[in-house]
Amino acid sequence: MSQVLCATTTRRTLANAIRFLAIDAVEKAKSGHPGAPMGMADIAEVLWRDHLKHNPANPHWADRDRFVLSNGHGSMLIYALLHLSGYELSLDELKNFRQLGSKTAGHPEVGHTPGIETTTGPLGQGLTNAVGMALAEKLLAKRYNRPGLDIVDHRTWVFVGDGCLMEGISHEAASLAGVWGLDKLTCFYDDNGISIDGHVAGWFRDDTAARFRAYGWHVVGPVDGHDASALAAAIDEAKAVSDKPSLIICRTQIGWGSPNKVGSHDVHGAPLGADEVAATRAALGWPHAPFEIPAEIRQAWDAHAKGGASEGQWQARFTVYRMKFPAEAAEFERTQGGALPNNWADIRRDLLASAGNKEGGIASRKSSQNCLDFLIERVPELLGGSADLTGSNLTAGKGSVAWHNAAVDVTANYISYGVREFGMAAIMNGVALHGGMIPYGGTFAVFSDYSRNAIRMSALMQQRVVHVLTHDSIGLGEDGPTHQPVEHVGSLRLIPGLDVWRPCDELETAVAWADALERRDGPSALFLSRQNLPQCGNRGSRAADISRGGYVLSDSATPAQAVIIATGSEVGLALTAQEQLATMGIAVRVVSMPCCERFDRQQASWKKSVLLPDVPRIAIEAAHPDPWRKYVGLDGEVLGLARFGESAPAPALYERFGLTVAQLTRVVIETVARESGNDGDF
């Protein structure tokens, strides 16, 4: 139901407040995208004032609706909405749009600006994050709601533009949303026919309505995106659908209101210019100075009273829920706050104890599954999945219940994403952003290329997401170079804030899982082997040392003449080489470095005690050698793979590329001889 407005606060006038805040901010910054906010202002006014359930006084209220601006370049749209609605985003912050230190960055950033639900800018990912949020809502509603006590009951709204729908990830996300029947997801398509290069008809002629109907969506429109009554009716129609997501196609004009630039790409990513700003003020009858919003317009926009009432009703309902279902209420509050189970210390201890007792050869992907068998039944907020590689990634544990196999009265905790690596990674970001669940998902390490930008975004947004990347080297064998990652582990180590783990046995794998779950300020990637790896036991303080990222796994009986640094499947080679070198009178320390990022965060004293600054170092990893130069220096050596692999059984490939005990031993001997001035005859 639309709110009653006075003559001076018509819907159009309220929408114009958005338009001119955007125009003025971009003009002052001499940078930005005014066209999208001007074109979508009418849609935003109807949605935010009449339908969006939110409370500016509490941006983190668990049962708020989620709003995502997927076309994030139009950031002044959401900044204007947040400011006008009453969030802690001052007019001064709008005046500092795109300036150093302001809360109004060029693209919306979660955690940086109150009320922003996700970081958007890479087109299509906001839509995909929204799918993840809607998925989380649906799963949590099934887990926690009880008859008459729906404590999880909110919607996800997302704005997208032509660019979002051109990106391939939109196909992945929209297809899954249809399969999952995410009925509380509504997408507004800003169909203005313009992108940076001009009119999109030259490169984008999809029948969008037919496309989304084929995905299993309910499609509304096209409707006039500047007609408030038509928009209100469209939203009502979408909300009435209870078995599928909805797409509302809104025909708009980019830069609506600008007499000379409306409908042109000239208004997409550049200020209007002083003359056109003045002309637009005249055309829309907006006599106010830059950044001036009349009191009656501010009052009509203020959402504190309505939002406070909505949250108050929910709080009353949750109070009854807590009395009737105290255990469920406590778990809901815990998971919404991001805390692990109260007995987590015991869970971690038992997990590591079990892992440290394993013997024989075990692939680290299998070790990971063993960890999941233990964790899933003890950490109920885990939501697993795989991009059509469950049987290879081993991401399903004994307690996993797949969405497509779940009984009506059972909550799923595992998603088969299909062959959609990028979509999976971005959906997991949305799940994490929503709160209440910890997502993890698997694919082959080499296919992290497909999902890389979403992995980067999980790091940028500091979200607890676990990327399970198996078949981590030439050790996968016969599938050949298309499937053998060479540059991937080193490349992902370059992403700030991403912890990359390459464990050598089940204990290191268990620590990786435990530390990834404990970490609340960023994602983790686990590189896991296809082939079996020897187990190194749990002597001394090993479990605690593993958490430091790099540690002395096996020291020499006498002062070390060299340090071998290894990860994953190559740690076993290093240990065997150490034994052989000892018989030659060469004392070698073996350092396992399962997570370079955690090691780099340690104090200098720890790093020096592990790597021995005055001793030559040799690194070995079945991956590109260059990243290891920062540890071995100019005088050290690296055994790696600076070329693509081949198709053959794994043992033959390791022999072919010199990743062997014999080669490692030879390199150590030569390095020690060179550093000591010895002729190499030991």
Higher pLDDT among residues 537 and 470, named by residue? 470
Q: How far apart are CA 599 and CA 630, in angstroms?
A: 13
Q: What is the mean pLDDT of residues 492-516?
A: 98
Q: What is the mean pLDDT of residues 471-491?
A: 96
Residue 1 has pLDDT above 70, yes or no: no
Q: What are phi and psi of 562, to 5 degrees?
A: -160, 155
Task: Encode pLDDT of 229-252 as tens digits.
Answer: 999 999 999 999 999 999 999 999
Average pLDDT of the chain is 95
Q: How far apart are CA 128 and CA 68, in angstroms?
A: 10
Residue 681 has pLDDT above 50, yes or no: no
C-alpha dihedral, 205 to 210 to 214 to 216, nearest 10°? 120
Q: What is the mean pLDDT of residues 200-209?
A: 95
pLDDT at 675: 81
Give the lowest-confidence range in 16-25, 496-505, 671-680: 671-680
pLDDT at 300: 97
- In contact, 384 and 397? CB cutoff 8 Å: yes
Residues 6 or more apart whose CB falls under 8 angstroms from that of 427 comprise 128, 129, 131, 132, 135, 173, 176, 417, 439
Residue 450 has pLDDT above 90, yes or no: yes
Q: How far apart are CA 364 and CA 81, in angstroms?
A: 49
Q: In this structure, are strands 524-528 and 637-639 parallel, antiparallel, or unpaired?
A: unpaired
pLDDT at 408: 65
Q: State the Cα angle at 310 between 247 and 463, rounded to 5°.
A: 60
Task: Encode pLDDT of 113-124 as tens digits.
Answer: 999 999 999 999
Residue 4 has pLDDT above 90, yes or no: no
Higher pLDDT among residues 411 and 162, named by residue? 162
To which H or E segment does residue 172 belong? helix 168-180
Q: What is the pTM of this model?
A: 0.96
C-alpha dihedral, 232 to 234 to 235 to 241, nearest 10°? 150
pLDDT at 682: 32
Q: What is the mean pLDDT of residues 204-214?
A: 97
Residue 460 has pLDDT above 50, yes or no: yes
| Cα distances (Å, whole numbers) of residue 652 to 211, 365, 476, 479 | 48, 21, 11, 13
Q: How far apart are CA 123 and CA 583, in angstroms?
A: 59
Task: Encode pLDDT of 499-509 as tens digits.
Answer: 999 999 999 99
Q: What is the mean pLDDT of residues 648-677?
A: 93
Residues 6 or more apart whose CB falls under 8 angstroms from that of 170 comprise 124, 127, 128, 160, 164
Q: What is the mean pLDDT of residues 513-528?
A: 98
Q: What is the mean pLDDT of residues 504-522?
A: 98
Residue 619 has pLDDT above 80, yes or no: yes
Residue 454 has pLDDT above 90, yes or no: yes
Q: What are phi and psi of 99, to 5 degrees?
A: -100, 155
Residues serving a catalytic function are 421
Q: What is the mean pLDDT of residues 359-369?
A: 97
pLDDT at 5: 54
**Exposed/middle/buried for residue 344 (C-beta within 10 Å: 0-12, 13-18, 19+):** middle
pLDDT at 540: 87
pLDDT at 411: 85
| Residue 8 confidence class, pLDDT cut points 50, 70, 90 | low
Residue 625 has pLDDT above 70, yes or no: yes
pLDDT at 676: 74
| Residue 405 confidence class, pLDDT cut points 50, 70, 90 | confident
- In contact, 430 and 136? CB cutoff 8 Å: yes
pLDDT at 254: 96
Residue 2 has pLDDT above 50, yes or no: no
The residue with tokens 């317009």 is: 297
The residue with tokens 């079990």 is: 354
Percent of the chain predicted with pLDDT > 90: 95
**3 state SS of 247:** strand
Residue 20 has pLDDT above 50, yes or no: yes
